[in-house]
Amino acid sequence: MKNIAVIGSGTMGNGIAHVFAQYGYEVALIDINQQSLEKALATIGKNMDRQVSKGTLSEDDKNAAISRIKSFTNLAEGVANADLVVEAATENISIKLELFRQLDELCKPETILSTNTSSISITKIGAVTKRPDKVIGMHFMNPVPVMKLVEVIRGYATSDEVTSLTMELSRKLEKVPVEVNDYPGFVANRILMPMINEAIYTLYEGVAGIEEIDTVMKLGMAHPMGPLQLADFIGLDVCLSILRVLHDGFGNPKYAPCPLLVNMVEAGYKGAKTGEGFYKYT
Ligand code: CAA
Q: Which tens digit of pLDDT belongs to each residue from 220-263? A: 999 999 999 999 999 999 999 999 999 999 999 999 999 999 99
- 139 phi and psi, to 5 degrees? -95, 100
Q: What is the pTM of this model?
A: 0.95
Q: Tell me: do 174 and 195 sit in the same domain.
A: no
Q: Percentage of the chain with pLDDT > 70?
A: 100
pLDDT in tens, 110-139: 999 999 999 999 999 999 999 999 999 999
Domain boundary among 154, 181, 208: 181
Whether 272 contacts 233, CB under 8 Å: yes
Please indicate whether residue 71 is annotated as part of the active site.
Answer: no
Instruction: Identify the CA nearest to 196 among candidates 147, 160, 156, 246.
Output: 246
Q: Tell me: do 162 and 208 sit in the same domain.
A: no
Q: Tell me: do 157 and 91 sit in the same domain.
A: yes
Atom of ligand 1 nearest to the CA of 119: 53
Q: Can you name the residues that pair with 280 across neighbouring β-strands?
A: 276
Q: How far is CA 142 from CA 80, 115, 181, 212, 230, in A?
A: 28, 15, 21, 24, 10
Containing domain of residue 269, as a range? 189-273
Read off the pLDDT of each residue in 100-107 and give the average, rounded to a whole number. 98
Instruction: Note whether residue 117 is domain-resident.
Output: yes
Domain boundary among 134, 156, 181: 181
- The reply, when asked if residue 96 is annotated as ligand binding, is yes
- Please state whether 66 falls in left (phi above 0), alpha (psi between -120 and 50) or beta: alpha
Q: Write out residues with Cβ below 6 Å of ligand 1.
A: 47, 50-51, 54, 118, 141-143, 145-147, 188-189, 224-225, 230, 234
d(CA 87, CA 104): 13
Q: Tell me: do 173 and 213 sit in the same domain.
A: no
Q: Tell me: do 101 and 149 sit in the same domain.
A: yes
Q: Tell me: do 82 and 171 sit in the same domain.
A: yes
Specify the number of domains making up the chain. 2
Q: Tell me: do 105 and 234 sit in the same domain.
A: no
Whether 92 contacts 79, CB under 8 Å: no
- The reply, when asked if residue 10 is annotated as ligand binding, is yes
d(CA 64, CA 12): 21
pLDDT in tens, 199-223: 999 999 999 999 999 999 999 999 9
Pocket test for ligand 1, best of 39, 41, 146 (most atoms within 8 A of CB): 146
Pocket test for ligand 1, best of 46, 49, 50 (most atoms within 8 A of CB): 50
Please indicate whether residue 139 is annotated as part of the active site.
Answer: yes
Residue 230 neighbours by CB distance under 10 Å: 21
At residue 12 the predicted structure's pLDDT band, cuts being 50, 70 and 90, is: very high
- How high does pLDDT run on average in the chain? 97
Q: Tell me: do 106 and 202 sit in the same domain.
A: no
Classify strands 176-181 and 69-72 as parallel, antiparallel or unpaired: unpaired
